[in-house]
A and B are shown apart, each in its own frame.
Chain A
Amino acid sequence: MRRSWLFAAAALAGTLLTLPAAADFTGGKVRIGVLNDQSSLYADITGQGSVVAARMAVEDWGGKVKGVPIEVVFADHQNKPDVGSNIARQWYDTEGVDAIVDVPTSSVALAINEITREKNKVFLVSGAATSDLTGPKCSPNTVHWTYDTWALANGTGSAIVQTGGDSWFFLTADYAFGHALERDTEAVVLKSGGKVLGKVRHPLNTPDFSSYLLQAQASRAKIIGLANAGGDTINSIKQAAEFGIVAGGQNLAGLLVFITDVHGLGLQTAQGLILTESFYWDLNDSTRAWSKRFAERMNGRMPTMVHAGVYAAVLHYLKALDALGSDADGRAVVAKMKEMPTDDPLFGKGEIRVDGRKLHPMYLFEVKKPAESKGPWDYYKLKATIPADKAFRPLAEGNCPLVK
């Protein structure tokens, strides 16, 4: 509770110290555009929840920076890079949007990354997973907040090998994101002393996984790594239960599983699943308090880590604007964000690295058994905390041109 007092105080101070600095803010206002999937596969993970999270950040900040009003707009990119880039250009060029937030689906995020660099605005990534955003494609205008493929692979991969799951079989979605997840996890598994017995690549949006699961079963690997996302992950977990894979002694490792996926599966099917996230609503008092407020606005749905990332990123962005007194130069704003240490109720204290990577701990969770759960959305048991300095790819290994 102490933190929200600090915020109230900061907001109050902000209003009192307001100077007529509107001229330094383009268009006389700060406009934040939430661009994500509102209507299909990732709408529950990102969607309206991200819009709500961004609005909450603006409200908690006090609605104004240096007396200038803050506005949140949103749009649906339909997971198509051309639709997304078109909206982004229009937002930047004609509608006075200063920063774009969220953007799940790596292909769209990479496109927005380039446009934001070209237009010198700010891009705060929460929904996209590709670690290229802070690697070869890194940009002085981009901050990658919540998670990335490397962090997921590292968290789940090394923890499982350490607890004895040393032989793996990968079920990989056949597209760049799946390949990246598989590649990163395989590297971690091999480095930790495990081995990979086989892999199978399935087309995106496959309804039936039984054939692949049978191949995984025949491999006798201890761990079946699911390098896929969304509906594909859900269906593979569901059908693994049906075919008695887990009962037969093999375990599943979901490399990208969100709490909404667990909610969709039900604990009966999802129990025992091991996964890595950077946020869980029931971590501590401040995450619980924030999530409760979020759920009240979202028909009782708890936030995903993407929603939490949107909130925290927007809050830190506003903090940087306040310190800088201007939103005109995107590169300067991001430089300021990197210079200031981060501190928010959801991710705690942290920092943003020179390549744009936000550093915070990652958490390894195990999905509870139905008997252990005390009520709706009580799904995770904390297994391990991966400290911020171990959770993400070391700076030198990313090949980011900003790192010299």
Chain B
Amino acid sequence: MVEILGVPAPALFGQLLLGLINGAFYAMLSLGLAVIFGLLNIINFTHGAQYMMGAFTAWMLLNWFGIGYWWSLLLAPLFVGLTGIAIERLLLKRLAGLDHLYGLLLTFGLALVIQGLYRNEFGSTGLPYAIPAELRGGQNLGFMFLPNYRAWVVVVSLAVCLATWLVIEKTRLGSYLRAATENPTLVQAMGIDVPKMVTLTYGFGVALAAFAGVLAAPIYQVSPLMGADLIIVVFAVVVIGGMGSILGSIVTGFGLGVIEGLTKVFWPQASATVIFVIMAIVLLLRPAGLFGRAS
């Protein structure tokens, strides 16, 4: 059997594929974070909690109203996105123009409140959410067993990421958005309702997190703390990709997923730390991130 660095080649392919799947979650979450940071200049620490809310909304829809996975993919992001809009209107709006630190703290505090409320209601162990019947089972690829659901996750998140990138980079709406990031006053003067755009952008970023949460529900335990530790990793992804860079966060998300996957083979203990090593190196060599424009 062919071996690469002492690991059989087929096993390595399997790990690469798994890394790509995990990267899909990083990509979707960091994409939302990057969009929000780009326009609102806020580091949204509630992102992890909103991802958790997405998963819980799917669970509630199923267990309380009998609404299944497919509708949840649409309804949960919509619902969580609306709560995001409320948060932006009521709270974040007041922080415009202030240092990053305040936005970070406010959203961090909100995350604590949201996680606490869910924990009080549902307990800390979490709840089961089954894989939808259409996606059960898996394919034997020869070098590994690939569950159908994981394949679906990769495909759908790639599609969502690409669509978002296309909207922002190639459409008129996207060009307003990018312009507002650079100079909100000027864009406002051109007759575009910038505050509304900001609100909707936040809602969209949050909805992306919730969408990732619904996708995650059948794989991970639906638990109030499922997003608590994720946020710091996802934030590192955004920094490595270049703050506010859409393409950067997508590519880095998938890339880091793969690197983390390989670390899990060669030095599993370090797999939670490797992202920070990369972040330190990138920041020292290319301060604006891999895809960021130096300001």
Contact = CB atoms under 8 A, between A and B. Distances in A.
**Do any beta carbons of A and B sit within 8 angstroms of each other in the complex?**
yes
B125 interface: yes
Interface stretch (A35-43, A57-65, A107-115): A35-43
A238 B221 contact: yes
A202 B8 CA distance: 21
A261 B126 CA distance: 8
A243 B138 CA distance: 8
A43 B119 contact: yes
B211 to A, nearest CB: 17
B271 A203 contact: yes
B125 A214 contact: no
A200 B128 contact: no
B126 A200 contact: no
Given A203-B269, A214-B18, A242 B219 contact: yes
Nearest to A237: B221
A239 B219 contact: yes
A235 B265 contact: no
Given A235-B221, A238-B219, A265 B119 contact: no
A239 B127 CA distance: 14
A242 B147 contact: yes
Nearest to A232: B221
A336 interface: no
A214 B272 contact: no
Contacts of A301: 123
Interface string A116-128: 0000000000000
Given A214-B18, A231-B225, A244-B145, A44 B269 contact: no
A207 B269 CA distance: 14
B287 interface: no
A123 B59 CA distance: 40
A40 B269 contact: no
Contact of A269 (B19, B128, B225, B271): B128
B229 A205 contact: yes
A41 B11 CA distance: 33
A76 to B, nearest CB: 12
Interface in A95-149: none
Contacts of A45: 125
A334 interface: no
Given A264-B125, A265-B128, A231 B221 contact: yes
Of the candidates A174, A207, A212, A268, the one having the most CB atoms from chain B within 10 angstroms of its own CB is: A207
B230 interface: yes
B11 A214 contact: yes
A397 B130 CA distance: 45
Contacts of B109: none
A41 B225 contact: yes
A44 B125 contact: yes
B237 interface: no
Interface residues of A, number: 43
B123 A212 contact: no
Of the four ranges (under 10, 10 to 19, 20 to 34, 35 or more), the interface on chain B belongs to 35 or more
B126 A215 contact: no
Contact of A214 (B144, B149, B221, B273): B144
A4 interface: no
Contact of B127 (A41, A242, A264): A264
A211 B265 contact: yes
Contact of B226 (A47, A207, A214, A238): A207
A40 B123 CA distance: 9
Nearest to B138: A244
A210 interface: yes
Interface in B15-35: 15, 18-19, 21-22
Given A208-B22, A235-B221, A243-B145, A268 B116 contact: no
Given A39-B119, A231-B221, A239-B219, A214 B15 contact: yes
B264 interface: yes
Contacts of A244: 138, 145, 147
B288 to A, nearest CB: 29
Interface string A206-243: 11101110110110000000000011001100110011
B174 interface: no
Contacts of A200: 268
A45 to B, nearest CB: 8
Nearest to A217: B145
Contacts of A248: 145
Of the candidates B15, B18, B19, B261, the one having the most CB atoms from chain A within 10 angstroms of its own CB is: B18
B223 interface: yes
B14 A214 contact: yes
A260 B219 contact: no
Given A43-B123, A212-B264, A261-B125, A243 B147 contact: yes
A319 B152 CA distance: 60
B124 interface: yes
A261 B229 CA distance: 20
B105 to A, nearest CB: 20
Of the candidates B116, B130, B145, the one having the most CB atoms from chain A within 10 angstroms of its own CB is: B145
A131 B148 CA distance: 42
6 interchain residue pairs of minimum CB distance: A266-B128, A203-B272, A264-B125, A211-B264, A43-B124, A44-B125
7 contacts: A39-B124, A43-B124, A44-B123, A214-B15, A218-B8, A248-B145, A264-B221
Interface of B: 8, 11, 14-15, 18-19, 21-22, 116, 119, 123-128, 130-131, 138, 144-145, 147, 149-150, 219-221, 223, 225-226, 229-230, 261, 264-265, 268-269, 271-273
